[in-house]
């Protein structure tokens, strides 16, 4: 496993970061979740990503249990705050009240005194940006958070936060952004990536496999395989349905020779593609079985040649979405993508 700096910060993260959205506590049981985390550790993964809203806290609890016997300083734990965690009016958003209370709750569930990276899961239009930034800065000053980041923020939102942090003289500064990013979904490239490259903000790219479609497991004209996310419990099938259109699956199937010529599985090709892009510090992978973790982790350190990137672009062609207005709108896919 190789490691990279998270943006221009001093924090090193593993190229493959293990995340548990839609898996731990939802579509994956306790024993399988613990086995996946153990396998990730065996593969050299040191960075683990979760959120307070994943399975309404159960994902954080499972991750905390899985890392319980691991030396705390040997791993990097990232979590998030913003999306609804309850029915109350203050159980969501980025108000000082919710940020503080959610952080303390996450620390209890994770069984740790601090998180390495605390991320604003979405932008909150209702809360003054100054209030949010000061709350995050206070958590850093208290030692409960080491670094701060955002997820699925637009370029103007990130730029405004950087400017305000400077004007307020805050100690903490955004060091990371966690966007959806894959061969197919490149909406951060026109605006978000250039800003982040300029400002030294690293990308923790999630959904590099586009909900599994880039593994090649879903075939045009065939029912989804048993055991896949498309047949799982919970919310997973809803998200997978965005990428099961026959036109998209037929185009993805043409990537198989590209992967084979590179000596990679289709999943490894997709992950290596993301890691090859400028400004990417790590890619966040999820898994329901330990063997998936092992296969995906093998993509660390792979350096794709320019010719491979060109072949990918030629195969996918107009299927690639680069519309920056779709940042934080993951369901706004093209009609040809949908089942």
List, in sequence order, every residue forming a beta bridge with 206; answer none if it has no partner: 180, 284
List, in sequence order, every residue forming a beta bridge with 284; answer none if it has no partner: 17, 206
Active site residue 54: yes
* 18, 54, 118, 181: the active-site residue: 54
Question: What span, in angstroms and rounded, lies between the C-alpha atoms of 210 and 338?
Answer: 12
Task: Give yes or no for a contact between 79 and 50, defined as CB atoms under 8 angstroms apart.
Answer: yes
Residue 265: helix, strand or coil by DSSP? coil
List, in sequence order, every residue forming a beta bridge with 205; answer none if it has no partner: 283
CA distances from 107 to 19, 64, 87, 224, 296 (A): 17, 9, 21, 38, 28
Tracing tokens 């959904």 back to the chain, one arrives at 207
Question: What span, in angstroms and rounded, lies between the C-alpha atoms of 230 and 339?
Answer: 11
Task: Give yes or no for a contact between 64 and 75, defined as CB atoms under 8 angstroms apart.
Answer: no
Active site positions, annotated: 54
């Amino acid at each position: 496993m190789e490691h990279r700096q998270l943006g221009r910060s001093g924090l090193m993260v593993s190229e493959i970061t293990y995340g548990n959205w839609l898996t731990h506590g939802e579509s994956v049981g306790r024993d399988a979740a613990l086995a996946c985390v153990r396998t990730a550790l065996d593969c050299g993964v040191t960075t683990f990503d979760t959120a307070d809203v994943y399975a309404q806290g159960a994902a954080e609890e499972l991750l905390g249990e899985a890392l319980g016997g691991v030396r705390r300083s040997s791993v990097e734990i990232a979590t998030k705050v913003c999306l609804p965690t309850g029915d109350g009016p203050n159980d969501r958003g980025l108000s000082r009240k919710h940020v503080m209370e959610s952080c303390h709750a996450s620390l209890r569930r994770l069984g740790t005194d601090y998180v390495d990276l605390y991320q604003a899961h979405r932008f909150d239009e209702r809360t003054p940006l100054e209030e949010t930034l000061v709350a995050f800065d206070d958590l850093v000053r208290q030692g409960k958070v080491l670094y701060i980041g955002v997820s699925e923020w637009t370029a103007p939102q990130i730029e405004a936060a950087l400017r305000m942090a400077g004007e307020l003289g805050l100690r903490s500064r955004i060091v990371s952004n966690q966007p959806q990013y894959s061969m197919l979904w490149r909406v951060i490239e026109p605006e978000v990536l250039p800003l982040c490259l300029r400002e030294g903000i690293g990308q923790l790219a999630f959904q590099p496999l586009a909900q599994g479609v880039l593994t090649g497991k879903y075939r045009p004209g065939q029912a989804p395989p048993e055991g896949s996310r498309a047949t799982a419990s919970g919310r997973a099938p809803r998200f997978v349905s965005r990428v099961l259109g026959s036109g998209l699956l037929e185009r993805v199937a043409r990537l198989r020779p590209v992967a084979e010529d590179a000596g990679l599985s289709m999943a490894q090709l997709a992950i290596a593609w993301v890691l090859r892009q400028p400004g990417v510090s790590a890619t966040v992978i999820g898994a329901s079985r330990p063997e998936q973790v092992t296969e995906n982790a093998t993509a660390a350190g792979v350096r794709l040649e320019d010719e491979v990137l060109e072949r990918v672009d030629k195969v996918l062609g107009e299927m690639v979405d680069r519309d920056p207005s779709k940042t934080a709108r993951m369901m706004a896919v093209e009609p040809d993508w949908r089942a």
